[in-house]
Amino acid sequence: MAILCNAETRLLVQGMGRMGRFHAGLSLEYGTQVVGGVHPGKGGTTIDGIPVFNTVADAMAETEANASVIFVPPPGAADAILEAADAGIALSACITEGIPALDMLRAKRSLAGSGLRLVGPNCPGVVTPEQCRIGIMPAQITRPGPVGVISRSGTLTYEAVDQLSRLGIGQSTCLGIGGDAIIGTTFVDALRLFEDDPDTAAVIMIGEIGGSAEETAAAFIRDEMSKPVAAFIAGQNAPPGKRMGHAGAIIAGGKGRASDKIAALEAAGVFVAPSPAEIAETLAKNVPELAGS
């Protein structure tokens, strides 16, 4: 079953530029049903065997797509998200990095009440192993199994997945929720989906400095999660006031420190890995029944 996407998912690619085409190809290769692309002005053409439409609405009418991945450059990305919502897409993963924060603030307000679940922006997307790849993750490192993986970072997601796979532990679904200050699906949203997913037995959550999403997640885990959660928080030694690559990774006004996040998670019963090399190990040690799953 997994969460968010599976073998039934019918994917549209919004923005068939260089990145969009490249990853549409990799997703097709992985077995994902990539049913169309959207690129204004190129409607009616076919790119790499994928039919292209001018608008998401046109694509929906022809393809019965239910998900999209957005590669539209920053100035038009928030608009692309709203276009997906308007057309009735159920799930969009926005890969675009560099969307102005106020654009996302307004887009997120507009999404309230729409049927769209947004993942990202500034995220690597979603993979349900051997079923569906949405976005840019190297899906070949994943393997099917019982652990859900949620992360604010792309490459650190790969690191955790690789560690799990090396221990012989597979994943139900892996998703990157994005490194920006304002994002669609939050840790709490993703944790709730994993808690309700019968195929997921445990969760790995990778946070980082900046904001208070990890503290909010800790409260949710304490109050509403029955499944075990292991975590790692990146940026334990980051200097205050400096943006560490991600737009949202900044300790500002004494808030957003890794130490506060770790304390909140530990108090909620989460197994926090002492180093980034021990993320999967920490989960495996505390949940021995996962071994070889």
Partner 1 sequence: MNVHEYQAKDLLRQYGVAVPAGGMAATPAEAEEVARGLDKGLVVVKAQVHAGGRGKGGGIKLAHSPAEAKQVAGEILGMQLKTHQTGPEGKLVRKVYVESGSEIAHEYYLGVVLDRAEEKLAIIASTEGGVEIEQVAAETPERIITVNVDGNAALPGYAARRVGFGLGFDGAQVKQLEVFLSGLFRLFVEKDCSLAEINPLVLTQGGDLLALDCKLNFDDNALYRHADVAALRDPEEEDARERAAQEIDLAYVGLDGNIGCMVNGAGLAMATLDMIQYCGGSPANFLDAGGGADKEKVKEAFKIILRDENVRAILVNIFGGIVRCDLIAEGVVAAAAELGIEVPLVVRLQGTNAEAGREILAASGLDITPAETLREAGERAVAAVGGA
- The reply on whether position 76 binds partner 1 by CB under 8 A is no
- Annotation marks residue 23 as catalytic: no
Tell me the C-alpha distance between 63 and 229, whole Å: 38
Question: Binding residue for partner 1 (CB under 8 A) from 76, 88, 144, 276?
Answer: 276
- The reply on whether position 114 binds partner 1 by CB under 8 A is no
Q: How far is the CB of 186 from partner 1 (least distance, A)?
A: 9
State the binding string over 216-255 for partner 1 (x if CB under 8 A, else -).
Answer: x---------------x-xxxxxx-xxxxxxxxx---xx-
Tell me the C-alpha distance between 175 and 120, whole Å: 9
Catalytic residue among 246, 273, 282, 287: 246
The site that binds partner 1 (CB under 8 A) totals a number of residues, namely 61
Residue type, 23: H
Question: Binding residue for partner 1 (CB under 8 A) from 211, 225, 280, 282?
Answer: 211
Tokens read off for 49: 């065997």
Q: How far is the CB of 49 from partner 1 (least distance, A)?
A: 22
Question: Binding residue for partner 1 (CB under 8 A) from 25, 100, 167, 192?
Answer: 100
Burial of 275 (0-12, 13-18, 19+ CB in 10 A): exposed
Tell me the C-alpha distance between 85 and 232, whole Å: 33
Q: How far is the CB of 63 from partner 1 (least distance, A)?
A: 26
- The reply on whether position 137 binds partner 1 by CB under 8 A is yes
Task: Check if the beta carbon of residue 222 is closer than 8 Å to that of residue 269.
Answer: yes
Looking at 35-43, 189-197, 206-214, 219-227, which segment touches partner 1 (CB under 8 A)?
206-214
Nearest of 5, 18, 124, 20 to residue 65 by alpha carbon: 5
Task: Check if the beta carbon of residue 118 is closer than 8 Å to that of residue 90.
Answer: no
Return the number of the residue (65 or 247) whose C-beta is nearest partner 1: 247
Tokens read off for 115: 């049927």
Q: Which strands make up the sheet holding 144-151, listed edge to edge?
A: 132-135, 125-128, 171-176, 144-151, 202-208, 229-234, 271-272
**Could you say which residues in the range 166-205 bind partner 1, by CB under 8 A?**
179, 181-182
- The reply on whether position 257 binds partner 1 by CB under 8 A is no
**Could you say which residues in the range 17-46 bind partner 1, by CB under 8 A?**
none
- The reply on whether position 138 binds partner 1 by CB under 8 A is yes
Q: Give residue for tokens 């999967």.
A: 280
Tokens read off for 79: 């608009």
Tell me the C-alpha distance between 131 and 124, whole Å: 17
Residues that bind partner 1 (CB under 8 A): 74-75, 98-103, 105-106, 108-109, 124, 136-138, 141, 151-159, 162, 179, 181-182, 206, 208-213, 216, 232, 234-239, 241-249, 253-254, 274-278
Instruction: Please identify every residue annotated as catalytic.
Output: 246
